[in-house]
Amino acid sequence: MPKKRKKHGRRGRPSKPRKPRLSKIKVQAPKGTHDILPEEQKYWDKLRAVVAQAATNYGFGRIDTPVFEDVRLYIKGTGQNTDIVQKEIYTFKTKGGEQLALRPEFTPGIVRAYIEHGMKNLPQPVKLCSIGPVFRHDKPQAGRYRQFHQINFEIIGDPTEVSDVQIIQTFVSILKRLNLKKFTIFINSIGCLMCAPKYKKNLLSYYKKRLNRVCPECRRRFDKNPLRLLDCKNEKCKKVTNEAPQILDYLCDECRLHFKKVLEILDDLEIPYILNPYLVRGLDYYTKTVFEVWEDKDDSGQGALLGGGRYDNLVEMFKGKSTPAVGAAAGMERIISFLKKQDIKISEIEKPKVFMIQLGELGKRKSLKLFDEFQRNGIKVGEAFSKPSIKSQLKIADKEGAKIALILGQKEALEDSIIIRDMVSGVQETVLIEKVINEVKKRLKQ
């Protein structure tokens, strides 16, 4: 016979109802992602503010594109044989059967938007700035995440060297405004559809004879993405690269002249750079100028702060009309880590000088209303509305460095008054609520 559940505890008293059991799981941020906690936000706010200022100064308009796009955009744009598409892209099929990808970089989405919104009809070039998360299924390690954030600038519709330089100049101005001075710009030209194929042919024949001296990854690159052979950081491969043919010897007249002018303008602007004839970048769409900015004088560290280049064929590849363009992206996590390494102080957001203290139900309600009125008057006010005791609220006000505490208890609420307490001297004065904002303004000016 089934046992009857006891309705009464010992001594006949009704037993307490049992709290239902919750099924629990242990959750952690997915590998390669990170939370940006409140204490970190000052770096992010500062960086965003500096980027917004640079965008205004150099005439870039902000554009926000979706974080996911049709996967074909990246296969075609970023390139089928790039590391991004081969190994790192996050793709998924929707319930409706669409094949989408989380954006691994900004440029293809921005070019899509340029075509889709008929921006070719605007005065050219169109200068666009974006900021936001990107996703790459990379091996997580220091400075390398699976979700990270990029600052991205593009100039679409100008073939001249001025735009190449302006992209570099904009990023240099951002780093300088952040007081970051110890960085190095590496620059190269990888030619165009006319001259690059001849170089690639010669490069392949050079490596063909030396395949036994390079790493397995480079042997894969030999078949799929030969320019990336030059990019390998493996010491064994670097020795082979050091004697490889250099693209600069193969540039056509147009590419050579373009690159010469880019370097001349950088010299005029006194922006120092190092010419690295083996810099190629990882993506398929680049033509002519490519560049990267690193923390140190060599490019063997954790990774570049930023990188970019010219991409004169991408708009056309997406069924747009032939439109030259240039752009670059910087990793926000890397810039922030650089700021911390250089021990650059970021000023804290100014804490409120006024703190509101409430007591009792009516006091709390009136305080919430008054708090709003202070905001409307542009006065920042601190609060700890969840704390019931005056002692604990005063302690927080003191810790936060408030100059003035406003105390609204049951008595004051009934009398439409409020106590103003000078947090330094401890002197208190009661005023009518309707006068408190002006009184606080007066005291803050003193």
Is the Cβ of residue 87 or residue 351 nearer to ligand AMP in the bound state? 87
Q: Report if residue 138 touches ligand AMP, rule: CB under 6 A.
A: yes
| Residue 48 three-state SS | helix
Tell me if 231 contacts ligand AMP by CB under 6 A.
no
Q: Select the residue interacting with ligand AMP from 132, 245, 277, 303 (CB under 6 A).
A: 303
How big is the site for ligand AMP, counted in residues (CB under 6 A)? 19
| 157: alpha, beta or left? (left if phi > 0; alpha if psi -120 to 50) | left
Q: Which of residues 390-419 bind ligand AMP (CB under 6 A)?
A: none
**Letter for the amino acid at 432?**
L
Nearer to ligand AMP, 137 or 364 (CB): 137
Stretch that binds ligand AMP, among 138-146, 209-217, 385-393, 426-434 (CB under 6 A): 138-146
Binder of ligand AMP out of 105, 161, 164, 231 (CB under 6 A):
105
Residue closest to 80 by CA, chosen among 223, 206, 204: 223
Instruction: Pick one of 306, 405, 407, 436: the residue that binds ligand AMP (CB under 6 A).
Output: 306
Does 327 bind ligand AMP (CB under 6 A)? Our answer is no
Sign of CA dihedral 32, 33, 37, 42: positive
Integer CA distances (angstroms), 383 to 23, 244, 396, 414, 424, in order: 36, 66, 9, 21, 18
Closest by alpha carbon to 397, among 383, 410, 413? Answer: 383
Q: How far is the CB of 133 from ligand AMP (least distance, A)?
A: 11
Residue 304 in contact with ligand AMP, rule: CB under 6 A: yes
Among the candidate windows 113-121, 145-153, 167-175, 413-421, which touches ligand AMP by CB under 6 A?
A: 145-153
From 46, 127, 136, 353, residue interacting with ligand AMP (rule: CB under 6 A): 136
When binding is defined by CB under 6 A, the residue of 43, 74, 145, 183 that contacts ligand AMP is 145
For ligand AMP, which stretch binds (CB under 6 A), given 144-152, 266-274, 377-385, 438-446? 144-152
Quote the Cα angle for 247-191-188, to 5°: 60
DSSP state of 209: T
User: What phi-psi label fits residue 51: left (phi over 0), alpha (psi between -120 and 50 degrees) or beta?
Assistant: alpha
Out of 329, 370, 407, 408, point to the residue binding ligand AMP (CB under 6 A). 329
Count CB neighbours of 194 within 10 A. Answer: 13
What Å distances lie between residue 352 and 34, 36, 43, CA to CA?
29, 23, 20
Closest-CA residue to 360 (of 383, 379, 392, 385): 385
Task: Figure out which of the listed residues 120, 144, 364, 387 binds ligand AMP, where binding follows CB under 6 A.
Answer: 144
Q: Cα separation of 25 and 34, whole Å? A: 20
Residue 331 makes contact with ligand AMP by CB under 6 A: yes
102 counts as binding ligand AMP under rule CB under 6 A: no
Q: Residues in the site for ligand AMP, rule: CB under 6 A?
A: 105, 136, 138, 143-145, 148, 150, 282, 303-307, 329-331, 333-334
